Amino acid sequence: MKLCHVGIRRLLIVGVFVTVIVVLQCCWTTYYSVLHADGSSVAFPVELSISGTSEEEGVGVFRSRANNVTFASHSKDYASKKEADLDRELDSDGGGIILNNFKVGNHEDAVYSFTQKIPKYADLSKSDMLLAVENPSNTSRIQSVEMEPQLLKSHLSMLNSKHKKGNLSTRSRLVWPTSIAHMNSLLLQSSNSASVRPKWSSRRDRELFAAKLEIENARVISNFPGLYAPIFRDVSKFSRSYELMERKLKVFIYREGAKPIFHQPKMRGIYASEGWFMKLMEGNKRFIARDPQKAHLFYLPFSSKMLRVALSNRKKMEQYLEKYVELIAGRYRFWNRTGGADHFLVACHDWASHITRQPMKDSIRCLCNSNVAKGFQIGKDTTLPVTYIHSMMDPLRGFAGKPPSERSILAFFAGSMHGYLRPILLKHWENEEADMKIIGPMSRDLEGKKMYMKYMNSSKYCVCARGYEVHTPRIIEAIFSECVPVIISDNYVPPLFEILKWEAFSVFVREKDIPSLKNILLSIPEEKYLALHLGVKKVQQHFLWHKVPVKYDLFHMILHAIWNNRLYHIRPR
Ligand SMILES: *[C@@H]1O[C@H](CO)[C@@H](O)[C@H](O)[C@H]1NC(C)=O
Ligand SMILES: *[C@@H]1O[C@H](CO)[C@@H](O)[C@H](O)[C@H]1NC(C)=O
Ligand SMILES: *[C@@H]1O[C@H](CO)[C@@H](O)[C@H](O)[C@H]1NC(C)=O
Ligand SMILES: *[C@@H]1O[C@H](CO)[C@@H](O)[C@H](O)[C@H]1NC(C)=O
Ligand SMILES: *[C@@H]1O[C@H](CO)[C@@H](O)[C@H](O)[C@H]1NC(C)=O
């Protein structure tokens, strides 16, 4: 009997082993994975980026064997080194009115760098486990293969035990296009997980915890003055949460930090949203606590844009922030209590996500560049919308919407060829169909701007394709033009994601589905389109800045998102 048992067990083990080997053999030529360099963990799903000199990344650099990459770089890393610096505000991504011709470099023999930590792979559901593999024999083609998570996991751990860092001939890339549905499930998971236990308890945490319970038990109500229920995930909870925030939340703003990097908001340009938040926060009466003992949250009031202006590279910027954290951690007790978990920053520069991921890794980071495949943590971090402010006096200048019946163009896109995706978009759709206005850069003079507005004004859908990075000001521009945004930017977490039901006023198209863009849009019934259009109109108020903030406006919504994410992870000690 015993012998028999042992026999069966052995058989089982051998069986599993053989299966794994067979699978490996099958996949070997096409799939490779990588070791995470700064640790032992597996960096999966891995996202690669082309990089000219990615040593600075220090994460593990691999040289590919002469194969052409057609669909790589999810990162601006390389671009930043190649003079295409988004800091020159106007050539960044300014609503497509841009002339800068950025050349995508020669990708042959490119150096790959593997970017950093990603939410745990085991969290992925099967349908989202998408392994995109480049077929070496045909570089213009990407195959997508769905695999069982379990299978992948063993597959990867095998690969990792075999391959040591720095020695891989990478011929395929693993990318991780996160669908909106998958992001929703990540959010759900995050909202149920508490953060690290604070070193000592605080009365403020207990207040937050009480608020959290109140919100969870919010009565379901049917009348919400000023709110349009269909665009919210749960309008009852939101309205309760907002109300409690107004009544209870106190924020302490560190006075440390010198101008212009700290305390000097910049109110215009592509990165304006960090400036607006800073200005309105520092000038706020309702939420500010003069006494840090009374604060639930602590604001680190720096401008990533100004930091970029002051310092030449990311390493220095990161070190600067490290020093700052040391300073406030030494001078006050609050940072050390939670490791920064009740601290937050609001930063819009493309590099902000990179330079804060170490020094402020446990803090709530409100970032424009919210790439879930590059360390943005759904439920902890929150997305800052890119609100491109042209005129401080009148943020809505030039925007106006025609009714749906007068929108004759099906889809519109115009813009520079930033990043890898837009050339693909144009390749498929430029001048293809009369009702698809998919064009490259438009002239930047007044005439060009007018045209741009006119197209947004008379299109049903506005394509918001990622540039160098996942975020783009087009989304907000589309919303203000009452044009339904079509977001093509895998792994981008849209703004106010924790609260808003983005599917109610926008369309998400996966990057790989660009060839079927038109069919996807045509398959949306008119009724649904009208609902989306209405949703767009109703969501506008939540993306508007006001010099004196008003209820439910962007300032309050961002602050609420931060409050919300702190509540997710609060626990009584
Ligand atoms: C890569 O692309 C270049 C031109 O874009 C081409 O000359 C070369 O043969 C390609 N290499 C491979 C391995 O396909
Ligand atoms: C690569 O695939 C594309 C699309 O399937 C096809 O049109 C093209 O001819 C292929 N190229 C080669 C070199 O096989
Ligand atoms: C990588 O592995 C190959 C064989 O698998 C070996 O020839 C080569 O020397 C290794 N390179 C390094 C840097 O370890
Ligand atoms: C917080 O921790 C840091 C590093 O451990 C230490 O240098 C600092 O003195 C601590 N701060 C306070 C106020 O004790
Ligand atoms: C957009 O449409 C509105 C409403 O029809 C109109 O008032 C406005 O002038 C239009 N703007 C442009 C730039 O065409």
Q: Please give the chain's pLDDT, 573 residues, in tens.
A: 555 566 677 767 766 666 666 555 544 433 332 222 222 222 222 222 222 222 222 222 222 222 222 222 222 332 333 223 333 333 333 333 222 222 222 221 122 222 222 223 222 222 222 222 222 333 323 222 223 333 334 334 433 433 434 333 333 334 456 788 889 989 998 888 877 788 888 999 999 999 999 999 988 888 889 999 999 999 999 999 999 999 999 999 999 999 999 999 998 889 999 999 999 999 999 999 999 999 999 999 999 999 999 998 999 999 999 999 999 999 999 999 999 999 999 999 999 999 999 999 999 999 999 999 999 999 999 999 999 887 655 556 556 678 999 999 999 999 999 999 999 999 999 988 889 999 999 988 889 988 998 999 999 999 999 999 999 999 999 999 999 999 999 999 999 999 999 999 999 999 999 999 999 999 999 999 999 999 999 999 999 999 999 999 999 999 999 999 999 998 776
> Ligand 4 pocket by C-beta < 6 Å: which residues?
329-330, 333, 336
Rounded to the nearest angstrom, the distance between the alpha carbon of 448 and the centre of ligand 5 is 15
Which of 70, 138, 427, 512 is the pocket-test mutation for ligand 2 (most atoms within 8 Å of CB)? 138
Q: Which CATH superfamily is domain 404-543 in?
A: Glycogen Phosphorylase B; (3.40.50.2000)
What are the sequence ranges of the domains in the chain? 177-391+552-567, 404-543
For 471, the token pair is 């975020």
397 ligand 5 Cβ < 6 A: no
From the CB of 135, is ligand 2 less than 6 Å away?
no
Using the atom order of ligand 1, give the atom closest to the CA of residue 108. 1
Q: What's the pLDDT score for residue 401?
A: 79
> At residue 502, what is the residue type?
W
- CA 388/CA 391 separation, integer angstroms: 9
Q: Is 569 helix (H, G, I), strand (E, B) or coil?
A: helix
Q: Is 395 helix (H, G, I), strand (E, B) or coil?
A: coil
**272 close to 388: Cβ distance less than 8 angstroms:** yes
Q: How far is CA 13 from CA 23, 25, 138, 150, in A?
A: 15, 18, 38, 16
Does the pTM surpass 0.75? The reply is no
Residue of 144, 135, 139 whose CA lies nearest to 177: 144
Which residue CA neighbors atom 5 of ligand 2 most closely? 141
Structure tokens at 180: 């909106």
Q: Dihedrals φ, ψ of 420, to 5°?
A: -85, -20
User: Which of 96, 105, 44 is closest to 69 using CA atoms?
Assistant: 105
d(CA 530, CA 517): 19
Q: Is 143 in the pocket of ligand 2 (CB under 6 A)?
A: no
Ligand 2 in reach of 427 Cβ (< 6 A):
no
Distance CA 270, CA 262 (A): 18
